[in-house]
């Protein structure tokens, strides 16, 4: 029997949701909701430069500074929970609640009354100097940083090379085998850095990996401070400028990662001479941002300090995030890539995504499933959605880390596996 031959290199699309990262110890939606549903002002810190986070053993030496902002976080979440049960709190629905207000779509009277009461309680003898819209903007900046901290793992910033990476070894072996004969387009709905870490640190994958960011040629730097020989008489404190990758939109390798909803390491900076914001990738320990520019009047290069958004650049909110799909040039380009990749793909694998995002489901249906193409999904639960009824697909009811290499191969069309085998043996 002759093997079916295909003239082009197969393209595999992979879509990953939060279930992909949970085995690595990164919190899922339920854990995030539980932590964010009740926040006491004593649990958080908001620095003078507006960076914020949960206290984790450190001491806040200036508790009076931005005390009203911390109290607003505590009271605004408490107010929202008074409109429903705490148990039903979902951080993305809450995000929609206050962004609908900020955009003038809904909840104006409700939130205005709360803010008036809050200001009267906090400033009983004086007129408040902070507007309602500013209160919400300050809250949003802090809330985004709290979300980011919950899914940030310091080990994902370590510069370590891996030959194996349990419990994801079978998945990585599967990717490596596909790379012998396929191009792989990975689309992530997650804000965490797990797949980037695997792609850049694993010995079998790093040379094939790209995510649209480039270090070479970047004029952007961050400032980092290090202390050497701490607690000794030879203690030395040093400051360094660290070159940072900037987004160029180049996905020119066999293994490409598209972060459809952004991530916690991406920050937006605003160079004076640019017409649009620039996205750079922050690394661990970085504070201020700078750009190397040539000063023609002085005839020399200089480092110019940049204004940044403080909070990382990622999308959330059940409805709010979908507004960026077509309105924000960066995310519009990202979703154009998603659309094109789906149209060109020969097979789609979905991992740890429960098909609860209507916008994402529409992209999958319109650009892939409606064309009669095959899909497989890996999830320990059994997602319930009309799209899975309308387009029956292969379901492996396991966590990604429980799937064997044989199961990965079995769910993939035979002609793709055979083409990869042939390319590997050449």
In this predicted structure, the answer to whether residue 274 has a pLDDT above a threshold of 80 is no
Which tokens sit at 2?
């002759």
In this predicted structure, the answer to whether residue 186 has a pLDDT above a threshold of 90 is yes
pLDDT-based confidence at 4, cuts 50/70/90?
A: very low
Kindly state the average pLDDT of the residues 40-59: 90
Kindly state the average pLDDT of the residues 55-78: 87
pLDDT-based confidence at 1, cuts 50/70/90?
A: very low
Cis check for the bond before 39: say yes or no (omega within 30 of 0).
no
C-alpha dihedral (318, 324, 330, 333), degrees to nearest 10: 90
Partners of 187 in beta bridges:
15, 258
The end-to-end CA distance of the chain, in Å, is 21
User: Would you give the DSSP letter of residue 24?
Assistant: G
- Minimum mean pLDDT range among 56-65, 168-177, 197-206, 236-245: 56-65
pLDDT digits (tens, 9 = 90+) for 331-358: 999 999 999 999 999 999 999 999 999 9
pTM score above 0.75: yes
What are the structural domains of the chain?
Answer: 1-26+158-211+253-264+314-426 (3.40.50.1220), 29-152 (no CATH), 216-250+268-311 (no CATH)
- Minimum mean pLDDT range among 48-62, 120-134, 376-390, 404-418: 120-134
Which tokens sit at 186?
């990975």
In this predicted structure, the answer to whether residue 379 has a pLDDT above a threshold of 90 is yes
Question: What percent of the chain is modeled with pLDDT above 70?
Answer: 97
Place of tokens 């042939």: 422
Q: Please tell me whether residue 237 adopts helix, strand or coil conformation.
A: strand
Kindly state the average pLDDT of the residues 397-411: 96
319 against 86, higher pLDDT: 319
pLDDT digits (tens, 9 = 90+) for 104-115: 999 999 999 999
pLDDT of residue 7: 55
Kindly state the average pLDDT of the residues 293-319: 93
In this predicted structure, the answer to whether residue 191 has a pLDDT above a threshold of 70 is yes
In this predicted structure, the answer to whether residue 5 has a pLDDT above a threshold of 50 is no
Mean pLDDT (the chain) is 93
pLDDT-based confidence at 128, cuts 50/70/90?
A: low
Place of tokens 């690394």: 283
pLDDT digits (tens, 9 = 90+) for 151-162: 999 999 999 999
B/e letters for 11-33, b = 16+ CB within 10 Å, e = fewer, are bbbbbbbbbbbbbbebbebeebb
In this predicted structure, the answer to whether residue 373 has a pLDDT above a threshold of 80 is yes
pLDDT of residue 2: 33
């Amino acid at each position: 029997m002759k093997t079916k031959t295909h003239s082009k290199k197969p393209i595999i699309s992979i879509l990953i949701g939060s279930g992909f990262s949970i085995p690595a110890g990164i919190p899922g939606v339920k854990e995030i909701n539980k932590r964010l549903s009740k926040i006491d002002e004593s649990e958080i810190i908001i620095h003078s430069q507006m960076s914020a986070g949960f206290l984790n053993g450190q001491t806040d030496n200036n508790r009076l500074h931005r005390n009203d902002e911390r109290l607003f976080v505590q009271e605004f979440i408490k107010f929202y929970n008074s409109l429903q049960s705490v148990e039903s709190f979902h951080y993305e629905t809450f995000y929609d609640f206050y962004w609908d207000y900020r955009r003038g779509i809904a909840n104006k009277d409700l939130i205005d009354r709360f803010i008036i009461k809050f200001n009267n309680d906090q400033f009983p003898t004086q007129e408040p100097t902070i507007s309602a819209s500013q209160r919400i903007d300050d809250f949003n900046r802090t809330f985004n940083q709290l979300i980011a901290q919950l899914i940030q793992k310091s080990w994902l910033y370590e510069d370590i090379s891996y030959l194996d990476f349990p419990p994801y070894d079978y998945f990585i072996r599967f990717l490596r085998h596909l790379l012998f004969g396929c191009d792989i387009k990975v689309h992530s709905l997650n804000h965490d850095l797990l797949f980037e870490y695997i792609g850049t640190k694993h010995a079998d994958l790093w040379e094939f990996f790209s995510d649209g960011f480039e270090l070479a040629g970047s004029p952007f730097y961050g400032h980092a401070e290090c202390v050497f020989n701490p607690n000794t008489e030879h203690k030395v404190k040093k400051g360094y400028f660290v070159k940072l990758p900037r987004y160029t939109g180049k996905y020119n390798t066999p293994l490409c990662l598209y972060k459809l909803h952004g991530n916690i390491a991406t920050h937006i900076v605003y160079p004076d001479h640019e017409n649009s914001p620039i996205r750079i990738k922050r690394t661990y320990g970085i504070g201020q941002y700078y750009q190397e520019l040539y000063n023609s009047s002085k005839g020399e290069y200089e480092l110019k300090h940049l204004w940044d958004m403080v909070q990382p650049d990622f999308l959330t909110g059940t409805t709010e995030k979908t507004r960026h799909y077509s309105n924000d040039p960066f995310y519009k380009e990202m979703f154009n890539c998603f659309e094109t990749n789906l149209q060109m793909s020969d097979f789609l694998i979905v991992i740890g995504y429960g098909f609860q995002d209507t916008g994402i489901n529409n992209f999958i249906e319109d650009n892939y499933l409606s064309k009669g193409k095959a899909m497989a999904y890996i999830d320990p639960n059994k997602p319930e959605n009309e799209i899975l009824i309308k387009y029956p697909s292969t379901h492996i009811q396991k966590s990604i880390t429980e799937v064997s290499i044989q199961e990965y191969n079995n769910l993939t069309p035979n002609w793709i596996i055979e083409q990869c085998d042939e390319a590997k043996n050449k």
